[in-house]
A = this chain, B = another copy of it.
Amino acid sequence: MIMTLNITFQALADPSRRKILEILKKKDMSVSEILKHFDITMPSLSHHLNILKQAGLVTFQRKGQELIYSLNLSVFEQTAKTLIKFFK
């Protein structure tokens, strides 16, 4: 759980990644769709998505040619709870 916390905070530390999460909060989206909100290349976005995936903050499922990404809210909840429990 400590190790997970490490990865989670590292994932959340980047503004682009937090923006991805905000965007996905509205609805599930394909990579191309997410990309429209950014001024970076597809491989860079893919890199960020990978880090978010490793942290368990997002999941995806293939739909034809597209990969549809979704938020994994339970990890946020878990992280928030850990923060609270850890320091109170």
* A1 in contact (CB, < 8 A): no
Q: A6-B15, A9-B9, A9-B12 are in contact. Are A80 and B83 (CB under 8 A)?
A: yes
Copies of this protein chain in the complex: 2
* A13 in contact (CB, < 8 A): yes
User: Which residues of A are at the interface with B, using a C-beta cutoff of 8 A?
Assistant: 5-6, 9-10, 12-13, 15, 18, 21-22, 25, 71, 73, 76-77, 79-81, 83-84, 86-88
Across-interface contacts of A71 in B (CB, < 8 A): 87
Across-interface contacts of A87 in B (CB, < 8 A): 21, 25, 71, 73, 76-77
Distance in Å: Cβ of A56 to nearest Cβ of chain B: 13
Complex Cα gap A81–B83 (Å)? 10
